[in-house]
Amino acid sequence: MVLLHALCSAFLICSAKLYRLMENEYLNYFAGLLAPERDRHFRVVGTMFSVLGAIHGLQLFCHL
């Protein structure tokens, strides 16, 4: 169970970093391929992944 929380937490935090990176102005072309300008919510999704990753990290430390 501890390994599962560690893997899930690492995945969520890495995904959050990638979503927040997509808001960078240098990656605007690639972000446009994924979603039109009005439907981009990369920062919100990245924040939610960060919160979920932090919760899994807290559960990991509670299991130890």
DSSP letter string, 7-64 = HHHHHHHHHHHHHHHTTSGGGHHHHHHHS-GGG--HHHHHHHHHHHHHHHHHHHHHH-
Q: What is the mean pLDDT of residues 39-61?
A: 92
Domain span at residue 23 reads 2-63
pLDDT at 52: 94
pLDDT at 38 over 90: no
pLDDT at 46 over 90: yes
For the chain, the domain total comes to: 1
pLDDT at 2: 84
pLDDT at 64 over 80: no
